[in-house]
Amino acid sequence: MSTAKRHIASLRDEYAEMTRQRIVAAFVETLEDEAADDISIAAVAKRAKVAERTVYRHFKTRAELSAAAGEWIEDNVFSYIPFTSPDELPEIFRKLCKRFDRHPHLARAIAVTRAGRRMRAGFRRHLIEQHRKAMAPLVRHLPAREVRQAEALASYLNNVLAWNAMREDFGMTSSEIADAIEWGLTTLLKDVRQRDAAAARSGKVGKLPRKRAAAAKLPE
């Protein structure tokens, strides 16, 4: 390929990527403005100033567009904050509350609309797995049922749904919400540690699933 042709191809690719990003941004803006359960492709195309067929050229399905919009939001608005210990979660949630405050309509749309839930589905799966890994050292001796409950509580306290519910149902500010979540998380973690220590002292490792019990058994 000649230099001129490579240059033209490069410009074409750059333009295609710009168009793709404009479509994704239009989807997010439409969700933020309308907070609708279903965002029409026609509305997205109109906002992006492209034809509907152009949207479908870049995103073959609505699900594909939703996933791309979810990734864009994660990268540019409500960025994922990594953690290795559940003790870090209260401060992380406090930071997230400040980000939710900057984009309250978008945060609400992500929390309560079908379109928003679809967009954050992949992110939530990843976050739940991170919670599971972070909680693992605290629940080595607990039965599987309590482990699942502890993981679920930690995960769903650290959640835009909690922020939205407390904001709308109780009129709380983000600072108040962050304080409440910190209270809930620290109380949960203290109780989990006490339960795990009690289970370790009582030797009730047999309540663990077989593989975990074998891993937890001390060498003789």
pTM above 0.95, yes or no: no
Cα angle 98, 137, 120 (rounded to 5 degrees) comes to 40
* pLDDT confidence band for 52 (50 / 70 / 90): very high
User: According to the model, what pLDDT value does residue 207 have?
Assistant: 47
Q: What is the pLDDT of residues 54-88, one digit of tens each?
A: 999 999 988 899 889 888 888 888 877 889 999 99
Residue 122 pLDDT > 50, yes or no? yes
Q: What is the pLDDT of residues 89-102, one digit of tens each?
A: 999 999 999 999 99
Q: What is the pLDDT of residues 130-153, one digit of tens each?
A: 999 999 999 999 999 999 999 999
Instruction: Provide the angle, in degrees to the nearest 10, between the axes of the packed helices 89-102 and 160-170.
Output: 60
Mean pLDDT of the residues in the chain: 86
Contacts (Cβ under 8 Å, ≥6 apart) of 134? 83, 84, 85, 86, 88, 89, 154
Q: Would you list the domain boundaries of the chain?
A: 3-68, 77-216
Tell me the CATH architecture of domain 3-68.
Answer: Orthogonal Bundle (1.10)
Contacts (Cβ under 8 Å, ≥6 apart) of 79? 99
Token readout for 35 is 């907070």
Instruction: With residue 154 as reference, give the H or E element that holds it.
Output: helix 144-157
